[in-house]
Amino acid sequence: MDLKGARTGHGSVGLESDDLLRMYRCMLLARKVDERSWILNRQGKAAFVISCQGQEAAQVGTAYNLRPGHDYVYPYYRDSGITLLLGQTARGQFLSLLGKKEDPNSAGRQMPGHYSSRELNIVTASAPVGVQYPQATGSALAFKMRGEDGVVLACGGEASTSGGDCHEAMNFAGIHDLPVVFLIENNAYAISVPEKMQVAGSIYKRAEGYGFPGVEVDGNDVLAVYEAARDAFERARRGEGPTLIEARTYRMTAHSSDDDDRRYREREEIEGWRQKDPIIRFEKYLEEAGLLDDESKEEIAASIKDEVDEASEYAEQAPYADPEEAVERVYAEG
């Protein structure tokens, strides 16, 4: 079947073996944090889970081009692969999952997956789909006005292109050649709605209508994504303007822990995509390249397991914010 490794060679895209192992570890960490989250959900400890599973390559491949705390990032709710790579921690993810006071994103105010970090320039995300795109263009414009080389990454699912905000942002980015990269993680569904009921024509082709490049990439091939994103970020840093990347991938879980996807998709389809699991594919590539063997694989897995164990236990023990905290920090002072 489709269980092939990455097609792009890492040498050709300028990545060292250290880079590859960092990427691999981050993808696996994101996956394992997510798997544990579902367990906590089934145990009745986590009210709500929304997953990155299947999209780790698209996320890590892209984010590996970012300079944390320098570039601006507007992630969407599945992008834990991105935020972990930038510097958020497994502990932070579980604190957020459980809505604890130390949740780095919102101190328990927002649902899990609504990332935020002032230090990492991860701009506070919300639930309304698509709102991040105009905001991202504004941040990009600020960089451009100040003559800085910062770039902005804005991410969303394929359905986030259906709303007006996405279009308004792409048009504006095109007019001013703004340093922004739009990453569309096309995972074939918006909750139950399949792509063909969501997207007329093709997402990446729309970029041409705005006068900038749009590229389609195998979103399960982390090196292919890395390469496409690298070109896009370089272009942006050179002042040449935006790029739209459509990473074709698949949502391997239900939409969220509130969803039952048996209502609207076949098990076979999911099985088919399991064969293309981006983590397995990358493992295969690394093995073939002689960068990973059974031993090192197990070592990484074990260290991740420890990290996940420690993190989820910490989060379970951590306290909630006081109820009265609900009325604090409505307005900024000063």
Partner 1 sequence: MTTKNLLQAIGEGLAEEMRSDETVMVLGEDVGRAGGVFRVTQGLMDEFGPFRVMDTPLAESLIAGAAIGLSVNGMRPVAEIQFADFIPPAFDQIVNEAARFHYRSNGAWSCPMTIRVPYGAVPGGALYHSQSVEAWFCNTPGLKVVAPTFPADAKGMIKSAIRDPNPVLFLEHKRTYRLIKEDVPEEDYSVPLGKARVHRGGTDLTVVSYGLMLHTALEVARKISNEYDIEVEVVEPRTLYPLDKETILDSVKKTGKLLVISEANLTGSFSGEIAAIVAREAFEWLDGPVMRLGAPDVPAAAFAKPMLDFFVPSAEKIEAAMLELARY
Ligand X SMILES: Cc1ncc(C[n+]2csc(CCOP(=O)(O)OP(=O)(O)O)c2C)c(N)n1
Show which residues are catalytic.
251, 255, 264
Residue of 142, 191, 270, 280 that binds ligand X (CB under 6 A): 191
324 vs 111: CA distance, rounded Å: 18
Report, in Å, the least distance between residue 308 CB and ligand X.
Answer: 23
Residue 206 tokens, joined: 């729309």
Is 159 or 279 the residue whose CB approaches partner 1 more closely?
159
Report, in Å, the least distance between residue 278 CB and ligand X.
Answer: 15
Residue in the structure block whose two tokens are 């983590």: 279
134 binds partner 1 per the rule CB under 8 A: yes
Strand order in the sheet with 214-218: 72-74, 152-157, 180-186, 243-248, 214-218
Report, in Å, the least distance between residue 296 CB and a second copy.
Answer: 45
Question: What amino acid is encoded at 32 in this protein?
Answer: K
53 binds ligand X per the rule CB under 6 A: no
Residue 72 contact, options Mg ion, ligand X, partner 1, none, Cβ 5-8 Å cut-off depending on partner type: partner 1
Report, in Å, the least distance between residue 185 CB and Mg ion.
Answer: 7
Residue 147 contact, options partner 1, Mg ion, ligand X, none, Cβ 5-8 Å cut-off depending on partner type: none
132 vs 217: CA distance, rounded Å: 22
| Partners of residue 73 on adjacent β-strands | 122, 153
Residue 326 contact, options Mg ion, a second copy, ligand X, none, Cβ 5-8 Å cut-off depending on partner type: none
47 vs 24: CA distance, rounded Å: 29
196 vs 139: CA distance, rounded Å: 32
108 binds partner 1 per the rule CB under 8 A: yes
State which residue has the least CB distance to Mg ion: 157
Is 158 or 283 the residue whose CB approaches Mg ion more closely?
158
Question: What amino acid is encoded at 16 in this protein?
Answer: E
Report, in Å, the least distance between residue 189 CB and ligand X.
Answer: 5
Is 80 or 105 the residue whose CB approaches partner 1 more closely?
105
Residue 206 contact, options a second copy, partner 1, ligand X, none, Cβ 5-8 Å cut-off depending on partner type: a second copy
In 43-118, which ranges are continuous DSSP H helix?
A: 56-63, 80-86, 90-97
149 vs 300: CA distance, rounded Å: 35
Q: Binding residues for ligand X, how many (CB under 6 A)?
A: 15
Report, in Å, the least distance between residue 144 CB and partner 1.
Answer: 8
Of 53, 123, 66, whose CA–CA distance to 115 is shortest?
A: 123
253 binds ligand X per the rule CB under 6 A: no
Burial class (CB in 10 A: 0-12, 13-18, 19+), 328: exposed
Contacts of 227 (CB under 8 A, 6+ apart): 8, 13
Residue of 39, 127, 301, 302 that binds partner 1 (CB under 8 A): 127
Is 20 or 217 the residue whose CB approaches a second copy more closely?
217
Of 53, 19, 6, whose CA–CA distance to 223 is shortest?
A: 6
Percentages of the chain per state (helix, strand, coil), in multiples of 5? 45, 10, 45
Is 133 or 226 the residue whose CB approaches a second copy more closely?
133
Nearest 5°: phi and psi at 214? -125, 135
Residues within the interface to a second copy (CB under 8 A): 162-168, 170-175, 196-203, 205-212
Q: Which residues bind Mg ion (CB under 5 A)?
A: 157-158, 187, 190
Q: Which residues bind ligand X (CB under 6 A)?
A: 78, 127-129, 156-160, 187, 189-191, 251, 255
